[in-house]
Amino acid sequence: MATILSAQCTDARVNMVTPELFRKFPTPAAFAQASLPAIEEEIRSTGFFRNKARSLSGAAKKVVADFGGKVPDSMDQLLTLPGVARKTGNVVLGVAFHKAEGVVVDTHVLRLSQRLGLSQSGDPKRVEEDLMRIIPRDRWISFSHELIHHGRQICVARKPRCIECPLETLCHAADKTWSSH
Ligand code: SF4
């Protein structure tokens, strides 16, 4: 549910909303029975709240109806849930089930994969395929977390802090703000 809410929204904002949301709706069955306006009210500040409420409600109903009230642990099954595409599926599989079926490609992973020359594509699906070819499978889960952390702390979108970057000698990005080579 939190991963669905994180679309176009900061993790900090999602983390402000989820404690009360999960207090009110503590199980998939509780979400499935809740009215859309009741869910919308709780998640309004995360943006696109009407669409997200529909996804949360639809996903909960499907989890209850098709998967015995438990979030499924395979990509194929996760992708049948409303609001879930590969990124969300990879997050849930990696973080909740410790299963590496793919590589999470969010906005940071997309940007950094291009800057570091790991993929030429701007399409998340193609970038994921490129990363799956390059990164050893036992690093798929940690790699995304590491890249996301790097993208937040150092390789930020507009003015990357190249002078502080431990990857600087490996990086040939055109928009570097400092270069040793
Ligand atoms: S050198 Fe600069 S552009 Fe390259 S990865 Fe580091 S922070 Fe990002």
Residue 149 pLDDT level (bands cut at 50, 70, 90)? very high
What does the pLDDT read at residue 128? 98
pLDDT at position 20: 98
CA distances to 73, 79, 109, 139, 162 from 63, in Å: 11, 12, 29, 29, 45
pLDDT for 16: 97
Mean pLDDT, all residues of the chain? 96
CB of 160 closer than 6 A to ligand 1?
yes
What's the pLDDT band for 107 if we cut at 50, 70, 90?
A: very high
Residue nearest to atom 4 of ligand 1 (CA): 171
Residue 147, pLDDT > 90, answer yes
**137 token code pair:** 């499978």
Answer yes or no: is the C-beta of 167 below 6 A from any ligand 1 atom.
Answer: yes
pLDDT recorded at residue 175: 94
Q: Is 40 exposed, middle or buried (0-12, 13-18, 19+ CB in 10 A)?
A: middle
pLDDT mean over 156-177: 96
Kindly list the catalytic residues.
Answer: 87, 106
Span 2-20, average pLDDT: 94
Mutation test residue for ligand 1: of 119, 168, 170, 179, the one with most atoms within 8 Å of CB: 168
Please tell me the distance between residue 165's alpha carbon and the centre of ligand 1 in angstroms: 6
Distance 106 CA to ligand 1 centre (A): 17
Q: Per-domain residue ranges for the chain?
A: 2-97, 107-170
58-84: pLDDT as tens digits: 999 999 999 999 999 999 999 999 999
Predicted local distance difference test score (pLDDT) of residue 181:
83
Q: What does the pLDDT look like over 116-145, one tens digit per residue?
A: 999 999 999 999 999 999 999 999 999 999
Residue 90 CA to residue 70 CA, distance in Å, equals: 17
Q: What is the CATH number of domain 107-170?
A: 1.10.1670.10
CATH number of 2-97: 1.10.340.30
